[in-house]
Structure 1
Amino acid sequence: MSQWYPKNGRVIFHIDMNCFYASVEMAYNPKLKGKPLAIAGNPEERKGIIVTSSYEARAKGVKTTMPLWEARKLCPNLIVMRPNFDRYRMASKEMFKMLAEITPHVQPVSIDEGYMDISECQELGSPIKIAENLQQEINNKLDLPCSIGIAPNKFLAKMASDMKKPMGITVLRKRDLPHKLWPLPAREMHGIGEKTAAKLNSVSIKTIGDLANKDVYQLKQVLGINGERLKNLANGIDSRPVDPDAVYEFKSIGSSQTLPNDTTSELDIRKLMQSLADNVERRLKRKNAAGLSVQLMIRYHDLKTITRSKKLKVYIEKKEDILYVANDLLQKHWNLEPIRLLGITVQDAEEKQHIAHQLDIFTYEKEAKKEKLYTVIDELSTKYGENTFKKLNKNKDNDQEQPRTSFQKDFLDDYKK
């Protein structure tokens, strides 16, 4: 057992749920199993954008972020469903509970993936045995497939879990790098996007092995300090611990949404801006936080994307303050071309207990008078849903909130409750 549990090393798992949203729907309705299934955000609007798809759909060329019309062209018998985030969140919670039963050292990183440090789990058997038992338990109890990467650090565990899907278990040790990791294209390395891959290609780095063996000085010239970090990762060097409390760390809280149609309608744009600011305010309250800057993201009809931000002198948390700054950024930086997507993010966020409040007596009295009203509104919103008062005068059909294709991380500690 000692060769599996090195005295001065770690044994890390990366658990990656396979086609998670689609797999949850198949578990909920077994008749969907074996069929090409896609989960699409707002399928009635813009003909939908693919959020995820089953392996049967992927075999036909269906990919995440692909427009639904294109996916249907590739796979005419594609079954399309709207996202059911409550269902996915519950499945995620149950999955992470199973991980936490093995070790307290569990770090969720998204709804469908997380890390475990099993270095102190020798009494449960070899890492491979633990992985096999965990994989089978998740499959038997939740009817969900997953892949597990086993490695001495988080980066290698993440890379390993991608090497065999679905239902794969892959071990990746440092001695395996020359024949398992280094031959892979640099673009397939976790942490390298298209722009970074293009920069690496410009200096003749085409594989992960090329990156691992490149002179660090040359890498810094191309990528700055990130060049040295990527070189270390390519060589299997990663000292980051599995941190169960990392889920509570945040520096920004935001919300974004695609418009039903590319638009220049100021009415539609302002309406969405209000909705986004409301979402951000609610998430700030959930974190009991405030932020020092606001960022606006605009994605145009041609997919060109810009982000503009404004640093503030005081922390803000209220919807009206967030919206005021975001609208100012929109007025200054929108070029009046049709907009496809908008996003509002409050950055430089801190928990309010860490923020020194320096309110003058007049500000304090003003806020104190509002506090009871805010409390009542929050209680009603929690019980009956947001915009409780507005709903009394709104047409029912217009009040249906559209599902989001992105998923916030506010819930990632649910499994501890």
Structure 2
Amino acid sequence: MSKYYPKKGRVIFHVDMNSFYASVEMTRNPELKGKPLAIAGNPEERKGIVVTSSYEARAKGVKTTMPLWEARRLCPELIVMRPNFEHYREASREIFSILSDITPYVQPVSIDEGYMDITECEDKGTPLEIAEQIQQTILDRLELPCSIGIAPNKFLAKMASDMKKPMGITVLRKRDISHKLWPMEIGEMYGVGQKTAEKLQSIEISTIGDLAKADVMQLKSLLGINGERLKNRANGEDNRPVDPDAVSEFKSIGNSQTLPHDTTDEQEIQRLIRRLSQKVADRMERKEVYAQNLQIMIRYHDRKTITRSKQLPDYIHQVDDIYDYAMRLLEEHWNQDPIRLLGVTAQDLIEKQDAAMQLNLFTYEEEAKHEKLYSTIDQLTEKYGSNPFKKLKTPHNSKAPTTSFQKDFLDDYKKN
């Protein structure tokens, strides 16, 4: 069996559930199987946005973020359902429990995908046998399809899992990248968004192979340190370990400030909450993370201190959302005694690129509706060096206290 495992190096899986939300709905209502299904908000309204869809719907041209009216035009027989995130979360716990039966080295990165390091699993079969076992177990136990990428590192495993869907198992070795990976368009590379792809195309990098062979100094000039990182990925290099504790290591981001005097002045308190929310939003933007829990801290004139938090229905990252939830918590828990110190902390953080957008559909539609506006602002920011629409920001407090560690909801499966 050892001949299937490298003497040096690792064997990494990327397990990616196929059309996850739609697939979960089909397990709960078998009559939906084989039919074009979309998960969307406000199904009764034309302005709804598609969150995800079944492969039968995708075959008709239905895509994520597509307006519902357009999806129905392309697929008149489309069945539309509202999302039920509790069901999806329950299925996610079961999936990661199955993966953790194979190896303790499991790293969830979103509600429906994760990495496994099976380098030490020789006694359980070849990598292909283990992948087939995982795929079949998830299908038999949960009736859910998945695709699995097998590779020597996380980046190649992620790329491999996307190569065959649904129910695919793909092996991507370093010796395969010149004919499997390099011919792919640059926009298909994991970690390359639309703006980055456009920048790379502007210097005649149109495929992953072009990126692999590009001049590193030119890339760093164009994209900063990320340019060198992407070139390394394109050449199949990625030393990141599969970290089972990564889901526990998203730090909270918070700021607190002592008032110049104890006060019950609501306007003064609101202004401070706004400033603290702005600082938190700025730091979240720099770290490219979203939060699903918000906490406030209130220290009264007698130094009695309370903290109160709220689990949010959606991931948030913008200052207005942080401020609104902080104010709600304040209004609910402030006893009207004079306040000495206030703090605002964003918790349950997840990296932006890995966020499984658990949005209620009002938020989802707002994000989609404003996407062009955000894109225009980004272009102007890039052109002029600063965002011309942002208010002046309070300087960051370099002496801010260190933040505590918080567990992300993806760690739920460990609690079973």
TM-score by length of 2: 0.68
CA shift for structure 1 position 404: 6.7
Q: Give 1:230's aligned amino acid.
A: L
Secondary structure at the aligned position of 1:101 is classed as helix
The C-alpha deviation readout for 1:157-188, integer Å capped at 9, x for no partner, is 00000000000000000000011000000110
Tell me the residue number matched to 1:411: 409
Trace 1:11-410 onto structure 2 (pairs within 5 A). 11-44=11-44, 47-251=47-251, 289=252, 291-292=254-255, 324=271, 347=284, 363=300, 365-368=302-305, 410=408
Any runs of at least 4 consecutive aligned residues in structure 1 with deviations exceeding 2 A, and if so which? 1-4, 41-47, 312-315, 320-330, 343-349, 362-368, 401-406
Q: Give 1:31's aligned amino acid.
A: E
Structure 1: how far apart are the matches of 2:176 and 2:98?
Answer: 29
CA shift for structure 1 position 367: 3.5
Question: Does structure 1 conserve the Cα–Cα contact (< 8 Å) formed by 2:46 and 2:69?
Answer: no
Count residues with an aligned counterpart: 313
Structure 1: how far apart are the matches of 2:17 and 2:116?
Answer: 14
Describe the shift of the 1:75–1:120 C-alpha distance in structure 2 as closer, same or farther (beyond 3 A). same
CA shift for structure 1 position 2: 3.1
Tell me the residue number matched to 1:336: none
Describe the shift of the 1:205–1:96 C-alpha distance in structure 2 as closer, same or farther (beyond 3 A). same
The C-alpha deviation readout for 1:320-339, integer Å capped at 9, x for no partner, is 99975675799x9xxxxxxx
Describe the shift of the 1:61–1:214 C-alpha distance in structure 2 as closer, same or farther (beyond 3 A). same
Describe the shift of the 1:326–1:3 C-alpha distance in structure 2 as closer, same or farther (beyond 3 A). farther
Describe the shift of the 1:402–1:152 C-alpha distance in structure 2 as closer, same or farther (beyond 3 A). closer
Structure 1: how far apart are the matches of 2:184 and 2:99?
Answer: 30
Structure 2: how far apart are the matches of 1:323 and 1:3?
Answer: 65
Q: Give 1:131's aligned amino acid.
A: A
Question: Does structure 1 conserve the Cα–Cα contact (< 8 Å) formed by 2:26 and 2:32?
Answer: yes
The C-alpha deviation readout for 1:330-366, integer Å capped at 9, x for no partner, is 9x9xxxxxxxxxx9687389xxxxxxxxx9xx84725
Structure 2: how far apart are the matches of 1:171 and 1:163?
Answer: 10
Structure 1: how far apart are the matches of 2:7 and 2:258?
Answer: 49
Structure 2: how far apart are the matches of 1:215 and 1:112?
Answer: 36
CA shift for structure 1 position 4: 2.2
Secondary structure at the aligned position of 1:34 is classed as coil
Q: Give 2:55's aligned amino acid.
A: Y
Structure 2: how far apart are the matches of 1:114 and 1:314?
Answer: 42
Question: Does structure 2 conserve the Cα–Cα contact (< 8 Å) formed by 1:326 and 1:344?
Answer: no
Describe the shift of the 1:329–1:246 C-alpha distance in structure 2 as closer, same or farther (beyond 3 A). closer
CA shift for structure 1 position 45: 5.4
Question: Does structure 1 conserve the Cα–Cα contact (< 8 Å) formed by 2:40 and 2:361?
Answer: no
Tell me the residue number matched to 1:301: none
Structure 1: how far apart are the matches of 2:281 and 2:166?
Answer: 36
Secondary structure at the aligned position of 2:250 is classed as coil
Secondary structure at the aligned position of 1:119 is classed as coil
Tell me the residue number matched to 2:397: none
TM-score by length of 1: 0.68
Structure 2: how far apart are the matches of 1:364 and 1:10?
Answer: 57
Q: Give 2:94's aligned amino acid.
A: E
Question: Does structure 2 conserve the Cα–Cα contact (< 8 Å) formed by 1:13 and 1:150?
Answer: yes
CA shift for structure 1 position 215: 1.1
Secondary structure at the aligned position of 1:14 is classed as strand
The C-alpha deviation readout for 1:217-270, integer Å capped at 9, x for no partner, is 11111111111000000000000000011112225xxxxxxxxxxxxxxxxxxx
The C-alpha deviation readout for 1:86-116, integer Å capped at 9, x for no partner, is 0000000000000000000000000000000
Secondary structure at the aligned position of 2:71 is classed as helix
Secondary structure at the aligned position of 2:108 is classed as strand
Describe the shift of the 1:99–1:404 C-alpha distance in structure 2 as closer, same or farther (beyond 3 A). farther
The C-alpha deviation readout for 1:25-54, integer Å capped at 9, x for no partner, is 001111000100000033345631110000
Secondary structure at the aligned position of 1:365 is classed as coil
CA shift for structure 1 position 156: 0.2
Describe the shift of the 1:321–1:27 C-alpha distance in structure 2 as closer, same or farther (beyond 3 A). farther
Q: Give 2:126's aligned amino acid.
A: S
Question: Does structure 2 conserve the Cα–Cα contact (< 8 Å) formed by 1:42 and 1:402?
Answer: no
Structure 2: how far apart are the matches of 1:43 and 1:214?
Answer: 47
Q: Give 1:17's aligned amino acid.
A: M
Describe the shift of the 1:88–1:405 C-alpha distance in structure 2 as closer, same or farther (beyond 3 A). farther
